[in-house]
Amino acid sequence: MRDKEETKRKLLVAATQEFAEHGIAGARVDRIAKNAGCNKAMIYAYFCSKENLFNEVLKIQIEDAIKNVPITPDDLPGYAGRLFDRYREQPEILRLAAYHRLESGTMPEAEQEAHKEKTKAIEKANLDTRWSAEELLNLVIHMSTIGLTTPNADRQLVENAVAQLLRSK
């Protein structure tokens, strides 16, 4: 008897790596199935299509990041630092979101919802800054990704930059 949940888990783990490395268009269901130790019919049985599998992988990654790196509007430098650490440890989420944006032209739905909630949290914090809550959130998030493109960037740089951003009026 096969364990459906374990098979799905293996497929999701293999798909996360495949999509992060190759994007939606470049990913191959044959490689996902092989790396999961399954046959590719299981992908279609559980997810119906490669695109649905990608969407499920991305949704899981976003939900996991939201759960494990909750926003702290009263400590945005610390939040940016924790995001920086997360992206350094698990860059897949940024790659997956970038592939989604490149191929669909939109922000993933789960990310849109999280973005709205984070913006509301920053608005409630009533920070004295020249930036709107949405602008501030966008800047904080983008500063936290600097480690992927700047070799010598570290968490302290990100936290200091966000702290300086908050001081600018």
The architecture of the domain spanning 69-169 is Orthogonal Bundle (1.10)
DSSP letter (8 states) at residue 152: T
Q: What is the pTM of this model?
A: 0.87
| CA distances, 65 to each of 31, 58, 59 (Å) | 26, 11, 10
Exposure string for 81-112, b = 16+ CB within 10 A, e = fewer:
bbbbbbbeebebbbbbbebbeeeeeeebebbe
Yes or no: domain 1-58 corresponds to CATH 3.20.20.10 = no
* Domain coordinates in residue numbering, the chain: 1-58, 69-169
* Predicted confidence (pLDDT) per residue in 135-162, tens digit: 999 999 999 999 778 888 999 999 999 9
List the structure tokens of 97.
Answer: 């979101």
* Predicted confidence (pLDDT) per residue in 91-139, tens digit: 999 899 889 888 888 888 888 889 999 999 999 998 888 899 999 999 9
Alpha helices in 1-49 (DSSP H): 4-26, 29-36, 40-47
